[in-house]
Structure 1
Amino acid sequence: MDITLQVIIFQAFISLSVCLNPFTITTYDNGTYSLSINDNIWLESAPTFFRDSGKLYSAKDGSLKLFYTGNEVGVDKLGNFTTKDYLYWAGSKEMFVSIRMYDDPNFVVFIQNFTDGASGTKAGSYDEVISGFPGFQIKDGVVDTGYLSFGGYMLGDTHKSIGKWGSHTKDIRDGLTGGPLILFDKDGNTLIISPLTEFMAASNWQDKESGGNVYWGVMGGVDEVPYHYTYMTIVYYAKGINKAFEGWGGALRKLYGSKKNSRAQDLTLGRAGYWTDNGAYYYYKTEPKKNYEQTMMDLVNKTVFTFNYFQFDSWWYFKGLAGGVKLWEPRPDVFPHGLGYFYNKTFSLVALHNRYWSRDTPYAKQNGGDYDFIVEDTGALPIDQKFWNDLLNKTLTWGLVMYEQDWLNVQLDKITALKTNLTLGQIWLSQMNEAAKANNVFIQYCMSNPRHALQSLTLSQVTQARVSDDYSPGGEQWRIGISSLFANALGLAPSKDTFWTTEVQPGNRYKRTEPNTRLNALVATLSTGPYGPSDMAGHLNYDLINKTCIYYGSLMQPAKPATAMDVQIIQEAFESKKMEIWSTYSVNVLNDTALNWGTVFAVDTSGDVTIDYKDMEFLTSDVAYSFYHYNDLSSFRDFKDSDKLVLPNNCTKTDFCLYQFVPKLTHGDNEVYLLGDVSKWVPASSTRIRSIVYQKEDLLINLWGSANEEITIYFVLNGQLQSSTCPIKNTGFNCVSMLTGKCVY
Structure 2
Amino acid sequence: MKRFFILGIIFLQFLLTGLASAAIEDQFQYRFLWPRDSNEPGKNLLELKANLRDSAHKIETRLGDADIKYFDLVLPSGELVAQTEMISITARNDVLIFRTQILKPITAPTGVYEKPAFALPAIKPVKNLSNVLNFKIEEFITPSHRKHPTTGPVVMYSDSLDVLIMSPLDNFMSAMQAPVNDEWHCGFGGLNKEIPADTQTITILVSGKGINDTMMKWGELVQKWHNHKPADPYADVAMSRLGYWTDNGSYYYYRTEPGKTYAETLLAVKSYADQEGIPYGYFQLDSWFYPKAEIDLRSSHNRGGVLLWEPNKDMFSEGLDAFQKQLGLPLVAHNRYVSDESPYCEKYKCVYHNGDRRRGAYPADPKFWDEIMDNAVRYGVKVYEQDWLYTHMDMIPWMREGIHNAESWYDAMANAAEKRGLTMQLCMASPEFLMQALKHPNETHVRTSHDYKGGIAKAFFWVPFHKAGLFAWSVGLWPFKDNFQTTAGQRPTYNIIPEANPMEEALVAALSGGPVGPSDRIAASDPELILRTCRKDGLLLKPDRPATPLDIMFIYNQRFLGGKKPWVVSTESKHEIGRTVYLAAFNLWPMSMYEPWVSFPEIGISGKHLVFNYLTGDYEINTDKIHFGTMKPEKAYYYILCPVLANGIAVIGETGKFITMSAKRFPSVKLEKDSLVMRIEGVAGEKIGIALYSEKPLKEIVSKDLSADVPKLDPGLINLNILIPKSGKTELRIR
The 3-state SS of whatever aligns with 2:339 is: coil
Alpha-carbon offset, residue 284 of structure 1: 0.5
TM-score if structure 2 supplies the norm length? Answer: 0.86
Partner Cα separation in structure 1 for residue 44 and residue 497 of structure 2: 58
Partner Cα separation in structure 2 for residue 215 and residue 236 of structure 1: 17
Does residue 259 of the first structure (1) align with residue 229 of the second (2)? yes
Partner of 2:707: none
Partner of 2:610: 626
Alpha-carbon offset, residue 417 of structure 1: 1.1
Amino acid in the other structure paired with 2:206 = Y
Asked if the contact 2:249–2:451 (Cα under 8 Å) also holds between the matched residues in 1, the reply is yes
Structure 2: gaps of 5 or more residues: 1-11, 296-303, 697-714
Does residue 203 of the first structure (1) align with residue 176 of the second (2)? yes
Does residue 563 of the first structure (1) align with residue 572 of the second (2)? no
Alpha-carbon offset, residue 547 of structure 1: 1.2
Partner Cα separation in structure 2 for residue 78 and residue 702 of structure 1: 37
What are the within-5 Å matches in structure 2 for residues 127-142 of structure 1? Answer: 127-137=114-124, 141=127
The 3-state SS of whatever aligns with 1:659 is: strand
Amino acid in the other structure paired with 1:71 = S
Partner of 1:663: 643
Alpha-carbon offset, residue 178 of structure 1: 4.8
Partner of 1:269: 239
Alpha-carbon offset, residue 673 of structure 1: 1.4
Alpha-carbon offset, residue 589 of structure 1: 3.5
691-700 or 680-689, larger mean C-alpha shift: 691-700
The 3-state SS of whatever aligns with 1:340 is: helix
Change in Cα spacing, 1:407 to 1:72, as seen in structure 2 (3 Å) is farther
Partner Cα separation in structure 1 for residue 99 and residue 189 of structure 2: 15
Partner of 1:172: 147
Partner Cα separation in structure 2 for residue 264 and residue 537 of structure 1: 28
Partner of 2:712: none
The 3-state SS of whatever aligns with 1:491 is: coil
Partner of 2:328: 347
Amino acid in the other structure paired with 1:713 = I
The 3-state SS of whatever aligns with 1:388 is: helix
Structure 1 residue corresponding to 2:723, chosen from 724, 727, 738: 727
506-515 or 677-686, larger mean C-alpha shift: 506-515
The 3-state SS of whatever aligns with 2:557 is: helix
Amino acid in the other structure paired with 2:287 = S
Alpha-carbon offset, residue 362 of structure 1: 1.4
Partner of 1:672: 649
The 3-state SS of whatever aligns with 1:134 is: strand
536-545 or 419-428, larger mean C-alpha shift: 419-428
Asked if the contact 1:557–1:685 (Cα under 8 Å) also holds between the matched residues in 2, the reply is yes
Does residue 608 of the first structure (1) align with residue 595 of the second (2)? yes
Partner of 1:545: 530
Alpha-carbon offset, residue 710 of structure 1: 1.1
Partner of 1:78: 63
Amino acid in the other structure paired with 2:571 = T
Partner Cα separation in structure 1 for residue 378 and residue 118 of structure 2: 48
Partner of 2:370: 389
Change in Cα spacing, 1:244 to 1:608, as seen in structure 2 (3 Å) is same
Deviations 1:22-42 (A, max 9, x none): x332xxxxxxxxx43xxxxxx
Partner of 2:619: 635
Change in Cα spacing, 1:262 to 1:434, as seen in structure 2 (3 Å) is farther
Cα RMSD of the aligned pairs, angstroms, is 2.7
Does residue 88 of the first structure (1) align with residue 94 of the second (2)? no
Amino acid in the other structure paired with 2:94 = N
Deviations 1:197-239 (A, max 9, x none): 11001011223xxx45321101101122233111111111111
Partner Cα separation in structure 1 for residue 513 and residue 18 of structure 2: 39
Partner Cα separation in structure 2 for residue 460 and residue 97 of structure 1: 30
Asked if the contact 1:48–1:58 (Cα under 8 Å) also holds between the matched residues in 2, the reply is no
Change in Cα spacing, 1:587 to 1:66, as seen in structure 2 (3 Å) is closer
Partner Cα separation in structure 1 for residue 50 and residue 725 of structure 2: 77
The 3-state SS of whatever aligns with 1:661 is: strand
What are the within-5 Å matches in structure 2 for residues 51-200 of structure 1? Answer: 53-56=38-41, 61=46, 64=48, 69-73=53-57, 74-89=59-74, 94-103=81-90, 104-116=92-104, 118-137=105-124, 141=127, 143=128, 145-157=130-142, 160-162=143-145, 171-174=146-149, 178-200=151-173
Partner Cα separation in structure 2 for residue 12 and residue 277 of structure 1: 61
Alpha-carbon offset, residue 727 of structure 1: 2.3
What are the within-5 Å matches in structure 2 for residues 343-742 of structure 1? Answer: 343-364=324-345, 367=346, 369=347, 371-377=348-354, 378-475=359-456, 476=458, 477-479=461-463, 480-505=465-490, 509-573=494-558, 577=563, 579-589=566-576, 595-604=578-587, 606-608=593-595, 611-617=598-604, 619=605, 624-639=608-623, 643-648=624-629, 650=631, 652-654=633-635, 656-666=636-646, 670-692=647-669, 694-695=671-672, 698-717=675-694, 718=696, 719-730=715-726, 732-739=728-735
Change in Cα spacing, 1:77 to 1:411, as seen in structure 2 (3 Å) is same
Amino acid in the other structure paired with 2:716 = Q
Asked if the contact 1:556–1:685 (Cα under 8 Å) also holds between the matched residues in 2, the reply is yes
Amino acid in the other structure paired with 1:601 = A
Change in Cα spacing, 1:214 to 1:417, as seen in structure 2 (3 Å) is same
Change in Cα spacing, 1:628 to 1:237, as seen in structure 2 (3 Å) is same
Partner Cα separation in structure 2 for residue 219 and residue 54 of structure 1: 16
Change in Cα spacing, 1:420 to 1:579, as seen in structure 2 (3 Å) is farther
Partner Cα separation in structure 1 for residue 231 and residue 17 of structure 2: 36
Alpha-carbon offset, residue 545 of structure 1: 0.4
What are the within-5 Å matches in structure 2 for residues 15-34 of structure 1? Answer: 15=19, 17-18=20-21, 23-25=23-25
TM-score if structure 1 supplies the norm length? Answer: 0.85
Asked if the contact 1:182–1:191 (Cα under 8 Å) also holds between the matched residues in 2, the reply is yes
258-267 or 319-328, larger mean C-alpha shift: 258-267
Partner Cα separation in structure 2 for residue 78 and residue 698 of structure 1: 42
Change in Cα spacing, 1:77 to 1:517, as seen in structure 2 (3 Å) is same
Partner Cα separation in structure 2 for residue 240 and residue 379 of structure 1: 43
Change in Cα spacing, 1:144 to 1:222, as seen in structure 2 (3 Å) is closer
Asked if the contact 2:376–2:384 (Cα under 8 Å) also holds between the matched residues in 1, the reply is no
Deviations 1:615-636 (A, max 9, x none): 334x4x8x75322221244323
Alpha-carbon offset, residue 361 of structure 1: 1.9
Alpha-carbon offset, residue 80 of structure 1: 2.4
Asked if the contact 2:97–2:202 (Cα under 8 Å) also holds between the matched residues in 1, the reply is yes
Partner Cα separation in structure 1 for residue 492 and residue 625 of structure 2: 48
491-500 or 258-267, larger mean C-alpha shift: 258-267
Asked if the contact 1:276–1:313 (Cα under 8 Å) also holds between the matched residues in 2, the reply is yes
Alpha-carbon offset, residue 696 of structure 1: 6.2
Deviations 1:160-206 (A, max 9, x none): 322xxxxxxxx4111xx553211111221111111111100101122
The 3-state SS of whatever aligns with 1:133 is: strand
Partner Cα separation in structure 2 for residue 51 and residue 408 of structure 1: 35
Partner of 1:40: none
Structure 2 residue corresponding to 1:246, chosen from 216, 219, 225: 216
Asked if the contact 1:562–1:584 (Cα under 8 Å) also holds between the matched residues in 2, the reply is yes
Deviations 1:644-664 (A, max 9, x none): 33444526422x221211123
The 3-state SS of whatever aligns with 1:524 is: helix
Change in Cα spacing, 1:51 to 1:262, as seen in structure 2 (3 Å) is farther
Structure 2 residue corresponding to 1:320, chosen from 293, 309, 322: 293
What are the within-5 Å matches in structure 2 for residues 327-342 of structure 1? Answer: 327-342=308-323
The 3-state SS of whatever aligns with 1:324 is: strand
Alpha-carbon offset, residue 531 of structure 1: 0.2
Amino acid in the other structure paired with 1:79 = G
Amino acid in the other structure paired with 1:206 = P
Partner of 1:302: 272
Partner Cα separation in structure 1 for residue 313 and residue 147 of structure 2: 48
Asked if the contact 1:83–1:101 (Cα under 8 Å) also holds between the matched residues in 2, the reply is yes
Asked if the contact 1:567–1:611 (Cα under 8 Å) also holds between the matched residues in 2, the reply is no
Alpha-carbon offset, residue 376 of structure 1: 4.4
Partner of 1:743: none
Partner Cα separation in structure 1 for residue 197 and residue 336 of structure 2: 35
Structure 1: gaps of 5 or more residues: 1-7, 26-34, 37-42, 163-170, 740-745
The 3-state SS of whatever aligns with 1:216 is: strand
